Amino acid sequence: MARPHILFIQAQDISWQKGLYGPGRDDIEMKILSIDEAGTDSTTIIRYPKGWSRTEPEFVTAHEEFLVLAGSITINGQSYRTHQYGFLPAGYTRQSASSEQGCVLLTTFADKPEVKAGAGPDYDEKLLIPFVDPMTMEWDEGLTDPKFAGGTSIKPLRNDPYTGEQSFLYCTRPHRVPAGMMKPKWTHPMIEEVFCIDGEYVWGDCGRMGPGGYVWWLEGEYHGPAGTDAGYHLWVRTVDGPLANTIAEEKSPFYWDPEFNPSLPDDLKKIAKPYVRPPNY
């Protein structure tokens, strides 16, 4: 089954719901950013309350990938703080887990997540990424697509050894694509997923996306042109293969103030609101 095309929704417009959608973790809150039509794989924001803990072993029946957005969580003695990352394969045993001050995680599940007590079965060690600290990494301009390379950089988080799927942080400097430039739309042969951590991303055909903006970009869907006056810091994940860009031949004018016109399924159209930049003074 598939997830619907989303470009874009602000996470702030989605309501919190109690508990994980798979059994277990009834004491957390969650926002579902997108989910498979069958209710299996998803991308969520999970809020763990202050003092949350698990002192007995447990495992999750789905691959769980996470990036800390705020606060901190400790799993098997490893502390994860803001912007730190992990990928725990299905069946990986969490001997203990806790969040003393509470935390918020951007979390993906590769299947319906069922949290089960006890030690997990065998897991795929090739998939395990126990800890990545992007704060200790340099931004790498050489990893970006040359067609988009000017002013952009990447910090790699994950490359799937079987599918080539990627997760990485992506940033660009402000004033990229000056007003009045003609730029093409583009698409991909795979799915691109985006979450805006900081900054603003201006989509010429959809509007201005700010922090909390979320994208599930299906194959063959053209969007753009795009740019940023503020710069941005994104979490990006590819599904069904590594990142590749297909650029249209025709160019269109780019403006900094496009109409709010997101491409959304009906349930998200009902709640989507334009992003409004908060004052910085």
Domains of the chain: 14-135 (2.60.120.10), 137-269 (2.60.120.10)
Sign for the pseudo-dihedral over CA of 21, 27, 28, 31:
positive
| 142 Cβ contact list (under 8 Å, min separation 6) | none
User: Region 212-234: what's the mean pLDDT?
Assistant: 96
Residue 110, token pair as written in the block? 């590769």
pLDDT in tens, 81-119: 999 999 999 999 999 999 999 999 999 999 999 999 999
Residue 11 has pLDDT above 70, yes or no: yes
Residue 179 has pLDDT above 80, yes or no: no
How many helical (H) and strand (E) elements, i.e. helices and strands, does the chain have?
A: 1, 25
Residue 212 has pLDDT above 60, yes or no: yes
> Chain-centre distance of CA 151, in angstroms?
21
Residue 272, token pair as written in the block? 């989507």
User: How many angstroms separate the CA atoms of 281 and 275, rounded?
Assistant: 18
Q: What is the band of 149 on the pLDDT scale with cuts at 50, 70, 90?
A: low
User: How many angstroms separate the CA atoms of 98 and 71, rounded?
Assistant: 12
Total-model pTM:
0.95
User: How many angstroms separate the CA atoms of 182 and 252, rounded?
Assistant: 5
